Each structure stands twice: as C-alpha cells, then as structure tokens.
Amino acid sequence: MQPTWHILGPGAIGSLFACHLQRAGFPVVLIGRKASPSPTSILLQEGDHTQSFCFECDDGQRPITHLLITVKAHQTDAALRPLKHRLGADSLIVLMQNGMGAWETVQQYCPETVCLLATTTEGANRPAPGQVIHGGSGTTYVGALAPDLQACAHQLCAQWSGLGLNLQEDQAILRQLWQKLAINCAINPLTVMYDCPNGALLSNAEALATMEKVCKEVETVMTHALREPAADLFELAKTVATRTGHNRSSMLQDVTCGRETEIDYITGFLLREAKRFNLNCPQNQALYDQIKR
C-alpha cells in the first residue's frame, strides 16, 4: 500500500506536488491553518483535471508518516508546532522552500524525524485558491543534510519516480541550496528596491553593480561554509534574471501585498553564516537593513 502524504502549506508548489502525488496513486491530505471544506478541490491547469483532497486543520491527531513542508520558511515554526506530537522516529519530512535554515525548526520540534531537503525549479502559480497553473517544468533536487541519511533521499526518489515530475537525487544538496540562496540574495531585495520585474535589473547599471557585489560576498561565505570554491554566482544570477525576466520576485509580491518577507531566511541566513566565519558582507547587510525597514 502506498503511504499517505500530508502536505503542509498547499500553495502553488504544495498543490502541484499534491496533484502529482495523488495521480501517482498516493493518498494525499492537505493541512492548513484555516478551516477549509473537506474534501477540497484543486484544478491543476495541465490537463484541466479537478482533483479532490481531504483537508485537515492543523489540530488533527493521527500520526503523520510522510510530510512535505512547502510553507514559507518564516512560517515553518507556527505551522509545524501543532503537528510535532504526530511526528516521530518513523516519520519522514521533506522540506521544500525558498531560503535556508528552517531545518533548525524541524530539528527542534522533531529531533528524531528524518528530514530531507529539496529545492525545485518547477514553475507554478496559484491565480486563485483551488487553482494551480503549472507554468513551466523544471527539476526537483532531493538530498540529505547528513551523509548517513543519503539512503533515505535515494528511497524517496525511487518512491516519487512515477510522479511525472523531473526528480534528481543530489548528494550535494547544500551546494544546490546555496546557489539558489545566491540567486535570491541577488535578485529579490533589488527587485523591491527598484520596484521592478527581475529582468529589469539587467538594464539598470546601478542595480547590476550591486548585484555583482552581492554575489561576490555570497561566494566568499559559501566557500567558507562548504569548504569548496563557489561557482560564478553573478553569471548564475544574471542567467536566472534573464530566464525569469517578466517575473515579479516572490519578495516583491510579498512587499506589495503587505506580507512578511523571507528576508531572514535569505539574506538573513547569509549574514548569520558570515558572522560564524567572521566575514563582513556590507552590501548584503545594507539590503537586509533596507528590506527590514
């Protein structure tokens, strides 16, 4: 029998995975903080199927064996706290979110639970609750923070091989996450400062010069954290800004809607790591302070 997957945070990416998991034969339960009708339906605009899911408020009691967390990094604490008594040594958590560092919350609440990390380049957006548009296919990388858990990442990739999504086991998932962090440090705060889509940063000489300094600082910290030379992160950030040129970054969308941003898990994480190695990141610090203001 297939295990039941609980999805904590059925936003765009959570809903995309919920639909693909269910189509592959896994029972799926969505968990949210606000009461929603159960069953609740999601229309995935990929073949225009409407799928029905059980919806649970976060006050359920039954044990959770498989949990995919797709809430924003700063919401992890509040979202996971009510579930911690349902998770144990037999549970598996997959953390798939922007930014880094939320695994500390998972370790604090569920120290015995196996926690895998994932990052995805799948393009999905949610024009309205109950609707998801799969805008572009990408790759989902899965790996473990600790080398002794790599076998679990391997098993998960085998279990998810029928999902119809591009999946890759990555034994160096931290490098993957650091590269994504660099992209987010370089693009997201600057799109807020200049109130522009990602691509517009490339034709703004001042923004581009700042982006280059931001990337150099991330390269230095990343080299210390991973103990290996970093790739050319400025080139990478420019490539992503070109590819996602018309996007308004998630941080710009959060600021526009008056929502809390993920800055503490993006630039904030970088600054905490820099402090650990006695490094200064003046450009990132200035952007962090401006976004916080």
- CB of 26 or CB of 141, closer to ligand KPL: 141
With contact defined as beta carbons under 8 Å apart, do 141 and 170 qualify? yes
SS3 state of residue 31: strand
CA distance linking residue 272 with residue 4, whole number of Å: 36
The least CB distance from residue 187 to ligand KPL, in Å, is: 4
- Which residues fall within 8 angstroms of residue 199, CB to CB, at 6 or more apart? 241, 242, 244, 245, 246, 247
Smaller CB distance to ligand KPL: residue 105 or 250? 250
DSSP 55-67: EEETT--S--SEE
Q: Could you say which of 247, 261, 283, 284 contacts ligand KPL (CB under 6 A)?
A: 247
Bridge partners, 45 (sequence order): 133
Instruction: Determine which one of 34, 72, 84, 180 is catalytic.
Output: 180
Among 179, 184, 261, 284, binds ligand KPL (CB under 6 A): 184
Has 180 been annotated as catalytic? Answer: yes
Whole-number Cα distances in Å, 269 to 69, 84, 120, 263: 19, 24, 19, 8
Among 67, 165, 240, 291, binds ligand KPL (CB under 6 A): 240
Site for ligand KPL contains 98 (CB under 6 A): yes
Question: Could you count the other beta carbons within 10 Å of the beta carbon of residue 247?
Answer: 19
Query: Smallest gap, in angstroms, from Cβ of residue 181 to ligand KPL?
Result: 10
* 263 interacts with ligand KPL by CB under 6 A: no
**Catalytic annotation, residues:** 180
Chain residues in the site for ligand KPL (CB under 6 A):
98, 183-184, 187-188, 198, 240, 244, 247, 249-250
